[in-house]
Amino acid sequence: MAIQARATRMELLHLRKRAALARRGHKLLKDKLDELMRQFKILLSEYLGARQSLEAKLETAYREFIFARASMREESLSDALRYPGAVATVTTSTRRVMNLTLPVFDIAMTGSYINYGMFDTTPELDRSLEVYSEVLPEVVRLAGQEKAIGILAGEIDRTRRRVNALEYILIPELVEAVAAIRLKLDEMERGNLTRLMKVKKMTEQRREAADAVLKAAAGRPSTG
């Protein structure tokens, strides 16, 4: 929708200020978008590398656990895993990126993950639990990275919409409104100039007519 504005110099000055402000805002938002994209690429690269490493370790843990389950009786496996000996404590913190607060998750492990006897268990179970204990901190950190990526992606989307709104809607509308007002003011100035020239011509004609009357009266012979 085109901006509706009165064709006055005050309105023209106001729209020019708005256009200049919109251009500055567009530049700032564009710089912000570029920095957000840079941070997003860095975080995404770290996340993909960590996820690839985590998936490889989890595949090893799953395979060892399947071997352990296949070589142990169901009752023995349930008894071995019934009472966990390790306690995981998740801590949260934040870090700032631009105007965003991104979460950082970390975990601390206490106790031993092996809380069973060796008589009815297999080495595959020990190995699988060992890998699980190693990957658990990575899983927690990865969850924090996923949340941070989601927050960054949302802010990038909002910022991009604002940049596009300024670049393709508001600034062109302001430029168009300024040009329309400038055109109307020029037309009004030309109209005023034309009227002034007509008034001046009429004034000169009246002056010439008055001068002619005065000259005629001065040349007329007096009587009496």
Phi, psi angle pair for 222, to nearest 5°: -80, 155
Does the pTM of the predicted model rise above 0.75? no
Nearest CA-CA partner of 91 in 112, 115, 108: 108
pLDDT of residue 185: 84
pLDDT of residue 198: 86
CA 11, CA 22: separation in Å to the nearest integer?
16
Tokens encoding 174: 């302001």
Nearest CA-CA partner of 119 in 64, 59, 79: 79
Tokens encoding 121: 């268990």
Question: Residues of 92-104 as b/e, b for ≥16 C-beta within 10 angstroms?
Answer: eeeeebeeeebee
Q: How far is CA 207 from the centre of its chain?
A: 70
Please state, in angstroms and as integers, the Cα–Cα distance from residue 25 to each residue in 86, 110, 123, following that order. Answer: 53, 51, 63
Q: Domain ranges for the chain, please list them.
A: 19-175
pLDDT of residue 221: 62
Right CATH for 19-175 from 1.10.3720.10, 1.10.287.3240, 1.10.3470.10, 1.10.357.10: 1.10.287.3240
Contact 100, 152 (CB under 8 A): yes
Mean pLDDT, each 10-residue run in order, the chain (224 residues): 74 90 94 93 91 87 83 79 80 87 87 75 81 86 91 94 93 90 84 84 82 73 54
